[in-house]
A and B are shown apart, each in its own frame.
Chain A
Amino acid sequence: MTINNGETLIKVEGLKKNFGKLHALNGVSEEIRKGEVVVVVGPSGSGKSTFLRSLNLLEEPSEGKIYFEGVDITDKKVDINRHRQKMGMVFQHFNLFPHKTILQNITLAPIKLLGMSKEEADKKGMELLERVGLAEKANAYPSQLSGGQKQRIAIVRSLAMEPDVMLFDEPTSALDPEMVGEVLELMKQLAKDGMTMVVVTHEMGFAREVGSRVIFMADGEIKEQGSPKEFFEHPKDPRLQEFLSKIL
């Protein structure tokens, strides 16, 4: 896949999500273009995770539309499972499958969903494991890995489906501080390889260094966005100024 800046991959229109009386998202419209690394930041309860989880419909929107590669995936007639195959997702708590080995974690979806042969999937899985330097863990179980290793495996598991976009939901928030670096390093590599990424994170260093665009959310709305430089150096929204003063 060639990187084609400017081509819209995900388009969100008037997205609202209510949990009972709580309005988690208050009408968000946004576009994610191919090759972009969009970093979403904001205080807790700002709706940033809900926004991310709505992109692959893990949260069903209460209102609004989401287009992925031109298809309205909020349309009930659309087979969301097929589109999810193209949207990798990485979770805060890894969610590796504890009853499967590392290699099986990676090959399960390609074998069952893409109809890949076991040999082919194993070969590809091993290649990916080599790439992240965890080949020797192929036959280990998730519980034998450190947090950082688990998260790198979770990323590899998503990559095995050859997604067009990767969604990261606070991928380093559950990690011990000394393991954050290895995960961010892998994400940086992905970004360099041209992967389209949407990343919800508290890692401002990552946002500044790797992000092509930073979005600030609060109260279920996008309050401000821009290039990392202008975002961090010249924040306009008072909520963002307050937020940045607290965390930087």
Chain B
Amino acid sequence: MSFGERFAFNFIDSKRWTYIADGLKVTLQITFLALLIGIVLGFVLAIIRSTYLKTGKLKILNLIAQVYITVIRGTPVVVQLLIIYFVIFGTVNVSKVLAAVMAFGMNSAAYVAEIVRSGIMSIDDGQFEAGRSLGFNYFQTMIYIVLPQAFKNILPALGNEFIVLLKETSVAGYIAIQDLTKGGDIIRSRTYDAMFPLLTVAVIYLVMVMIFSKLVNMLERRLRNSDH
């Protein structure tokens, strides 16, 4: 078969390209929603942890956050995915995508939490004191003064975490979700041609990561321009 014929056989015949397109949609959907959970939950965990470290308050919440982060970071994401789908949602009928969103979101949150915490801790105590002395309470000081500065410092690390998240969703096939990776693999199993579909999948991930890196870089530059 010529190159053109193999391409047509893998993607055009029986509209096999739809496996890739539909899979890409699912991958983006899971990544985006998991990202939201990761950011929100991650920031909450980070604020709890750094509040405890700075003031000694929120002792119990900090303990819970610490256990959560230790467990999540200490176990493989595939195992977490399987546990959420087959154990936690084992008896209730939830969509696989929802289970995946929760698994990847909760996983990402643990990593985001540690990144954000390090960002908060890197801000000089004088910034907290200046905020408090003006009459801001602890959380106002966090939101108006500390987090904007911390965010700028941790943006590269956060961007990296989101790239990892995007790529990690490729194991969603373990609970029979047809994401991008699974889509390519299905084509492989139909055509017995591994190279075309799998390389295509790899290139699509690569392009997405490159676009995302570019966006993070642009944001970084914009934030840097805003102070000198």
- List residues of B (122-138) whose CB comes within 8 Å of A's CBs: 124, 126-127, 129-130, 132-137
B227 at the interface (CB under 8 A from A): yes
Would you list which residues of chain B between 88 and 146 have a CB under 8 Å from chain A? 124, 126-127, 129-130, 132-137, 140, 144-145
Interface residues on B, range: 20 to 34
Interface contact A141-B135, CB-CB below 8 Å: no
Given A99-B149, A144-B228, A82 and B135 contact (CB-CB distance below 8 Å): yes
Partner of A87, one of B124, B133, B137: B133
B148 within 8 A of A: yes
- Of B130, B137, B148, which is within 8 A of A99 by CB? B148
In the complex, are the beta carbons of A161 and B228 less than 8 A apart? Answer: no
The majority secondary structure among interface residues of chain B is helix
Using Cβ atoms and an 8 Å threshold, which residues of chain B touch A158? 133-134
Q: Is B129 in contact with A58, judged by CB distance below 8 angstroms?
A: yes
**Shortest CB–CB separation between residue A61 and chain B, in angstroms?**
16
Give min CB distance, B168 to chain A, whole Å: 32
Q: How far is the CA of A18 from the CA of B148 in the complex (A)?
A: 34
How far apart sit A81 and B227, CA to CA, in the bound complex (Å)? 29
Question: In chain A, residues 12-51, which have Cβ atoms closer than 8 Å to a Cβ of chain B?
Answer: none
Q: CB within 8 A of A112: which of B127, B133, B140, B228?
A: B140
Show the binding face of A for B, using Cβ within 8 Å: 56, 58, 81-82, 84-85, 87-89, 91, 93, 95-99, 108-109, 112-113, 141, 143-144, 154, 157-158, 161, 167
Q: Which residues of B contact A (CB under 8 A)?
A: 124, 126-127, 129-130, 132-137, 140, 144-145, 148-149, 152, 226-228
- Given A58-B129, A112-B144, 13 other A-B contacts at CB below 8 A? A81-B136, A82-B135, A88-B133, A93-B126, A95-B126, A97-B130, A99-B148, A99-B149, A109-B135, A109-B136, A112-B140, A113-B135, A143-B227
